[in-house]
Each structure stands twice: as C-alpha cells, then as structure tokens.
Amino acid sequence: MTKFSPGDVVIVGEDTEAVIVYEYDPMPCLKCGKPNCFEWANVLGLDNGWLMHVSECDMKLSSFGEKLRRYDGKKKRWAKN
C-alpha cells in the first residue's frame, strides 16, 4: 500500500509543491528499493510543470495536504484532530 493517494498535496525534494495525480499501478521505488516505497509516474507541480517518476522517499505531505486529509467529504466538514 502506498503512503500517498491521488490528490495529496506534497513537497518533492526540498521545496517543490505538487499534487499526486492518478496512478493505475504504482511501481516499486527504484531509488531506495524498500518494499513499502513506491514511485508515482505522474505528479503535477503547482507551477503546472509535470514531474515524472517521483519516489515516495523524495516526498512528504505538505501542511496544506495534511489539512485536506482531515476534510470529511461525506459530512462536508473538517474532521477534528
């Protein structure tokens, strides 16, 4: 199972904000080779540039991405921490 999901807002590397786009079948990470790390082929930078084949070990969830994960779409409200 991947650490991230399509729609997550992440930081790639040091400071590049991006959104993970749909991935049919994430492939194992080619950088670290850990079994629980995957590579996403399509990541859209918030500057509208595409980042190709980004490893999860190069990503972290942005603070905005953390906030989005707390939104309960079914109840249309923000979940409490």
Whole-angstrom Cα distance, residue 60 to residue 76?
26
| pLDDT, tens only, 45-57 | 988 889 988 999 9
Residue 73: the pLDDT is: 67
Residue 38's nearest CA partner among 6, 78, 4, 69 is 4
User: What tokens were used for 76?
Assistant: 């249309």
- Sequence spans of domains, the chain: 9-70
Whole-angstrom Cα distance, residue 28 to residue 64?
26
Whole-angstrom Cα distance, residue 64 to residue 45?
14
Average pLDDT, the chain: 85
